[in-house]
Amino acid sequence: MNRLIRQPLGLASLLVPPLLTLAAPPWLSIGGVGPSWGVLWLLPWALVDGPLSGALAGLAVGLLLDGLHPGLVSELPVLVLLGWWWGQLGRRFPQFERSFSLGLLAMLGALLLGLSLLVQFALAHAAGLDQGLGGPVGGLPHRGWAPPVIALAGLQILAAQSLITGLLAPILCSLQVLLWRRQRTRQR
């Protein structure tokens, strides 16, 4: 339990998703939309280290990513649930590192994360919580925009982010799975 977090490399790697989110490399994007770096970092971690560590890592990376984007929406709940679920998958199927599987899991995780954010935006807008805060919900410039336009834009962003996350996952997640497994065997 929590073996990777005891490694200096494991703890330092927790800063990678927020840093890559801030850097937003344009050559790793589709139409200006980058991948879900939190999903790409969390998937291999949880598969290797288990459900409890995956949920705690999801909590930590969710807090860091939420700190970058002030607003009423949060990535935290979905990242915690994904970390726990992927940790369960890693325990049941220890050799869950096929490229196709990693790509599908990452794409599904990015879809769930994006859908969660869309639902949170919609609920905040329906409840009127986006009015009078001195700014739009979560940084979306929607004053005067019709809700269907916002929903359509959100679905396009969701599709682009899920696609780029699923395409990058076989490469990045396979390397991370190998790295985390090597770190765990060194600790034993």
Per-residue pLDDT of 142-152, as tens digits, reads: 555 556 666 77
When the pLDDT of each residue in the chain is averaged and rounded to a whole number, the result is 83
User: In this structure, what token pair is assigned to residue 164?
Assistant: 């780029």
Count of domains observed in the chain: 1
The candidate with the shortest Cα–Cα distance to 2, out of 34, 47, 39, 50, is: 50
* Domain CATH code at residue 22: 1.10.1760
- For the entire predicted model, the pTM comes to 0.84
> Coil, strand, or helix at residue 188?
coil
How many Å apart are CA 111 and CA 125, to the nearest integer?
21
pLDDT band per the 50, 70, 90 thresholds, residue 11: confident
| Phi, psi for residue 141 in degrees, rounded to 5 | -80, 85
pLDDT tens across 80-125, in order?
A: 999 999 999 988 876 666 788 899 999 999 999 999 988 888 887 7
Mean pLDDT of 134-156: 61
Range(s) of the domain holding residue 104? 4-187
pLDDT tens across 59-72, in order?
A: 999 999 999 887 78
